[in-house]
Structure 1
Amino acid sequence: MRYSREHKQETHTRIVKKAAVLLREKGAHGIGVADLMKEAGLTHGGFYAHFDSREALVIEAFAYAMDRSTERWRQIAAQTPPEKRLATIVDSYLTPVHRDDPGHGCAVPALGGEITRESPKTRKAFAAKLDQMIDMVAEQMPDVPRKTARKQAMTMLATMAGTLLVARIVGNGELSDDILAAGREAALDRVVPAKPAARKRAAGKSAAARQH
């Protein structure tokens, strides 16, 4: 049976979405192609009609997961006053809900350790998506020089991802909750707060953008 191009693309997207969840839940080597295709409601034999290799699927899946995180942060930023955006992003990230649901959370703490043992091509793709996340966070510091903003964004993201990873390691008890709380405080500790003038400029730009 021949399927339309649209049907093939829909199937491809479904596989990537399912893989993105399973990879974050079970790890890059925790599930095989046959199991993955079964989860997507497809046969093992159909895999290579969509992907050249397992590596190709892994790259697409974690890229999809990281794009979702970045987009979620953009939505938070769009709905939050400039001076509260970074704190809101941190507070939404370091939560018990995120800790307990890795399959639908950030790919960095879920897969970062494994990506270091993947091929150069996979690591390069992961690094490119991470760089985009860094830029997105740095954009929330309009009054800070770009180089400084990126450094602060790197520190913030590393603290957030590391905190979530350690919180998951110890489980979901009081110690884990304390780790999340400490991480929320530490993630913003070195971030330069927005100056009043910069906040007014950012607010003005946001209002102008809404009018257009």
Structure 2
Amino acid sequence: MPYPEGHKEKVRGKIIESAARAFRTNGIRDISVPFIMKGAGLTHGGFYAHFDNKEQLVAETCRYAIGDTIAFLQKAAEQEKQRPPIHVVIDYYLSQQHRDSTNFGCILPALSSGISRSSEEVRQVYTDELKRMIDFIADVANIDYATGSSLLSSMVGALMLSRSVNDPDMSDNLLAAGKQQAKALIFTQESVIQ
């Protein structure tokens, strides 16, 4: 009996979601295809019916995860009416909740260190998705691309460092300092525009 229409796309989506959770938490190198398939509730043998190799999965997961992060941050910024949208984005991105929820957070901190050893295809997708994220940040903040690049770099770096240390107070301080600097960068840019 054939599968219902859309079954293959649904299964592929489950694999990508499982990969996104795994890569966000552990990066690329330490995650195996069997681990990803188990996370999707599937057997390892079915992987190649959906992807040519792990590199293709990494590329598609990068697209999915960045889109997911942008959608979440956009929704949060639109719902908050009391503060400038970029402040909402900064406050969430550099929050304890985001730091501690690695399996659902932004994938950039997890992939950044390992992506340089990936294939050109994966690096191109990562580059395109990073540009998309910078465009989103620059648009929400109403700043130029270069300042958006600096702002996102600062936010990703602060998040990475806060996740890396084993001292909870230092981790919280890194987040607080990151928020302060990110908002100061926006304020400085706004002052230059005026």
TM-score, L = length of structure 2: 0.91
Matched, 1:175 2:141: no
Is 1:189 paired with 2:184? yes
CA contact (8 A) 2:62 2:129 kept: no
State which of 160, 169, 184 in structure 2 corresponds to 1:165: 160
Cα distance change, pair 77–141 in 1 and its aligned pair in 2 (3 A): same
Higher Rg: 1
2:151 maps to which of 130, 147, 156: 156
Q: For residue 106 of structure 2, what is the amino acid of its counterpart? A: C
Q: CA deviation at 1:81?
A: 4.3
Distance 1:157 1:105 in 2: 14
1:30 and 2:25 matched: no
Residue 67 and residue 172 in structure 1: after superposition, are their counterparts in 2 closer, same or farther (change >3 A)?
farther
Runs of 4+ in structure 1 off by over 4 angstroms are none
Alignment size in residue pairs: 191
Same amino acid, percent of matched pairs: 35
Structure 2: gaps of 5 or more residues: none
Q: SS in structure 1 opposite 2:80? A: coil
Structure 1: which 5+ residue stretches go unaligned?
199-212
Q: Distance in 2 between matches of 1:83 and 1:129?
A: 27
Q: Distance in 2 between matches of 1:113 and 1:16?
A: 20
Please state if 1:85 is matched with 2:85. Answer: yes
Measure the CA separation in 1 of the matches of 2:2 and 2:167.
Answer: 49
2:167 and 2:3 mapped to 1: Cα distance?
Answer: 46
RMSD of the alignment, in Å?
Answer: 2.0
Taking a change above 3 Å as real, the CA distance of residues 67 and 194 of structure 1, as seen in their structure-2 partners, is: farther
- Mapped contact 1:20–1:65 kept (Cα < 8 A): yes
**Structure 2: which amino acid aligns with 1:74?**
Q
What's the counterpart of residue 138 of structure 2? 138
| Letter of the structure 1 residue corresponding to residue 174 of structure 2 | I
C-alpha separation between the residues in 1 aligned to 2:60 and 2:82? 32
Q: Deviations over 1:95-148 (max 9, x none)?
A: 111111211111111111111211111011011111111111111244x5xxxx
Asked if the contact 1:83–1:194 (Cα under 8 Å) also holds between the matched residues in 2, the reply is no
Question: Displacement, 1:59?
Answer: 1.0
- SS of the residue corresponding to residue 182 of structure 1 reads helix
Scaled by the length of structure 1, the TM-score of the pair is 0.83
Q: Matched residues in 2 for 1:82 and 1:151: separation?
A: 27
